[in-house]
Amino acid sequence: MADLYRPFTWDDLGDVELGRENLGLEMPVIVYRLFEYTTKDVLARRYGVEAAKEIIRECGHLAGRHFYKNVLFEEGQSFDDFVARLQRSLKDFKIGVLRLEFVDLAKKELTLVVSEDLDCSGMSVSDEAVCNYDEGFIAGILESFTGETWHVREIDCWATGDRVCRFEAKGGK
């Protein structure tokens, strides 16, 4: 069978309830991290560390756009309603607990703080912020809500010794 490219769709996730009637919808965080960090390792060895980070970020971006479209979208919602829905959804999906630390909508600047982050909370301290997937995920969500490009970078991370992950987001750039 030929390897044909087919873009990701939400339907690719399948009917998890049907397929996992005994095991259910949830799995341990360690299994998610096993997938993410082994993927990052293989990408880094094959393409280099920076390319691996960018690929993981791009994956997060794609996921964020689909998450917005299939979970967060509500016609005509205000920024405050969007944030409340995002906070609730991230908690419901056990991705993390979100709070906005700084908001300047006129300048399109946000600082978002995620505690109990799926990607890194509880990890050993190293010299590297590791939440590249989250950077892309947040950017994809913000882009979908605003219709503008967002640049998101992690400035504090559990993996660098902080107890939360903090992201700076700048829109329109």
**What's the pTM value of the predicted model, to 2 decimals?**
0.95
Domains and their CATH numbers in the chain? 27-171 (3.30.1380.20)
Identify the H or E element spanning 153.
strand 150-156
Residue 1, pLDDT score: 62
Residue 27, pLDDT score: 94
CB 61 within 8 A of CB 139: yes
Q: Block means of pLDDT (10 residues each) for the chain, length 173 residues?
A: 87 95 94 97 98 98 98 97 98 97 97 97 92 98 97 96 96 79
